[in-house]
């Protein structure tokens, strides 16, 4: 049964009968009985006043789906044949999932106010809104564990903030072409936000805690635009409209392959990025991906993990040429077996103010893929004997490493190996770089600047 609760007098409507009940202190709407109210499409039409207690909800009310008034059959599928204006959505523990959609001929819009979506009264299950949603004020969407909120239509943020709270999952529909736009998204809580639209166009994406997943909606391609900027073949022109803020405590997960993210990524304190499987079902990517944007941070720490496992060939998570020109601090790299981290493209790449720390994982391989270019690193260190500093994988490319721009003393216990071509490694700066396990059967050329200092094992 569908019922509506308001902060003022409340009644419950049912076809053929009216039950008058007073409810105090709650501003909410509950639809009438699903079995009692059916339109020609076989579902309750939420655009009809008779589907709500006291008439249609307004901007100061919340639409409340209360399980005590919802009867079989389940799941609950509701339609809208006209636009609606709600203050927000709440739940009273319905027995099954709730889906709201336009009918076959109407693209109805739900205009939503400051009350947002609050699923904390829903013990388990999902809410799907396939209508277009237009936020007109700052608002929050909240879930608890074992809950999922899915947006199947476009969401306009109204130039304001949308804050994601709680421990559940909020996601754009899989293979979703409907974007979120015109505002800022702030991720709080311990839950997960999954973004799949390739034309997302919000202004900023701030990750304070929890997990944000950038997921390729087609499995292997189409990732550009998922993190904002409006999509398109050249996202670089949209960087100013797609700023990602990584704050301590949250993780940005890339579930994609073979594409680039052209975003400005601000690392405030500590940021975490992980290249993961292509989707939650565990389908691994067939090839690597790359980030074509820029990282900005001062004395920051970026933990960068390539967790994808590709058995046919090394998976390469690439960082483009100018990615770290405005970043100082530590870059911690780690990778699973059969994975690599690649830095560089067609030009010189600079990590002059960065300490690169190659951490755990049997597959951690740092490769400079610049075409006959130089990769300058402030300091390179590891205590992982399986870490590999490698030459380029591209045929006929000369791989140049210039290591030591920060003038610090560091130790590298990993290996140095050929790729397709042998690397040329030049020690620069005044610090000492100690190598203890350089590997065998390589043809690397070791050089030093006038002030550079090596320390090879005896």
Nearest CA to 207 out of 235, 246, 178 is that of 246
Average pLDDT over residues 2-6: 43
pLDDT at 16: 24
- Lowest-confidence pick of 23-37, 51-65, 229-243, 425-439: 23-37
346 pLDDT tier (thresholds 50, 70, 90): low
Q: Is the pLDDT of residue 156 over 90?
A: yes
Mean of the per-residue pLDDT values for the chain?
75
- Lowest-confidence pick of 63-67, 84-88, 177-181, 433-437: 63-67
Higher pLDDT, 373 or 14: 373
Q: Is the pLDDT of residue 239 over 50?
A: no
pLDDT at 207: 95
pLDDT at 258: 59
pLDDT at 336: 76
Q: Where are the domains of the chain?
A: 82-455
Average pLDDT over residues 398-422: 87
In Å, how far are 224, 304, 335 from 413, measured between CA atoms?
A: 37, 20, 17
Instruction: Report the alpha-carbon distance of residue 354 to residue 452 in Å, rounded.
Output: 18
Max avg pLDDT among 222-236, 302-316, 325-339, 362-376:
325-339
Instruction: Report the alpha-carbon distance of residue 256 to residue 259 in Å, rounded.
Output: 7
Contact 199, 175 (CB under 8 A): no
The DSSP H or E segment spanning 86 is strand 84-92
For the stretch 353-401, pLDDT in tens is 999 999 876 667 787 766 667 889 999 999 988 888 888 776 667 778 8
Higher pLDDT, 25 or 237: 237
- Lowest-confidence pick of 75-84, 210-219, 351-360: 210-219
Three-state secondary structure readout of 175-237: CCCCCEECCEEEECCCCEEEECCCCCECCEEEECCEEEEEECCCCCCCCCCCCCCCCCCCHHH
pLDDT at 166: 94
pLDDT at 44: 78
Beta pairing, strands 109-118 & 84-92:
parallel
22 pLDDT tier (thresholds 50, 70, 90): very low
Q: Is the pLDDT of residue 116 over 70?
A: yes
Instruction: Report the alpha-carbon distance of residue 335 to residue 318 in Å, rounded.
Output: 12
pLDDT at 157: 93
């Amino acid at each position: 049964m569908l019922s509506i609760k308001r902060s003022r007098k409340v009644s419950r409507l049912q076809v053929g009968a009216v039950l008058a009940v007073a409810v105090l202190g709650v501003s909410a709407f509950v639809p009438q009985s699903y079995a009692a109210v059916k339109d020609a499409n076989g579902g309750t039409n939420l655009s009809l006043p008779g589907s709500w207690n006291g008439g249609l909800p307004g901007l100061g009310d919340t639409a409340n789906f209360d399980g005590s008034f919802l009867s079989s059959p389940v799941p609950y599928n509701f339609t809208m044949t006209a636009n609606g204006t709600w203050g927000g959505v709440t739940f009273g523990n319905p027995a099954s999932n709730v889906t709201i959609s336009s009918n076959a001929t109407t693209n109805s819009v739900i205009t939503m106010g400051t009350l947002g979506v609050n699923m904390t009264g829903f013990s388990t299950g999902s809410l799907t809104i396939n209508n277009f949603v237009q936020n007109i004020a700052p608002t929050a969407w909240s879930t608890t564990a074992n809950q999922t909120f899915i947006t199947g239509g476009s969401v306009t943020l109204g130039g304001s903030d949308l804050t994601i709270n709680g421990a559940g999952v909020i996601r754009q529909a899989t293979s979703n072409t409907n974007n979120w736009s015109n505002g800022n998204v702030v991720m709080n809580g311990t839950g997960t936000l999954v973004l799949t639209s390739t034309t997302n166009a919000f202004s900023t994406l701030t990750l304070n805690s929890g997990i944000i997943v950038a997921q390729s909606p087609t499995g292997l391609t189409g990732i550009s635009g998922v993190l904002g900027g409006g999509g398109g073949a050249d996202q670089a022109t949209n960087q100013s409209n797609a700023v990602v803020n990584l704050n301590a405590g949250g993780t940005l997960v890339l579930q994609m392959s073979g594409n680039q993210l052209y975003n400005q990524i601000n690392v405030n304190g500590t940021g975490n990025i992980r290249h993961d499987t292509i989707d939650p079902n565990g389908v691994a990517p067939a090839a690597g991906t790359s980030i074509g944007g820029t990282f900005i941070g001062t004395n920051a720490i970026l933990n960068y993990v390539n967790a994808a496992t590709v058995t046919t060939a090394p998976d390469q998570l690439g960082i483009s040429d100018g990615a770290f020109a405005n970043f100082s601090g530590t870059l911690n790299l780690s990778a699973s077996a059969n994975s690599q981290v690649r830095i560089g493209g067609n030009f010189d790449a600079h990590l002059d103010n960065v300490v690169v720390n190659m951490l755990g994982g049997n597959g951690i391989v740092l490769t400079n893929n610049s075409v006959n270019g130089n990769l300058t690193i402030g300091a390179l260190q590891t205590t992982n004997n399986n870490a590999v500093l490698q030459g380029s994988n591209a045929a006929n490319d000369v791989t140049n490493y210039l290591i030591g721009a920060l003038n610090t003393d560091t130790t590298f216990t990993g290996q140095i190996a050929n790729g397709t071509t042998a690397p040329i490694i030049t020690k620069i700066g005044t610090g000492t770089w100690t190598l203890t396990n350089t590997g065998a059967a390589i043809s690397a050329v070791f050089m030093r600047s006038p002030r550079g200092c090596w320390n090879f094992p005896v």
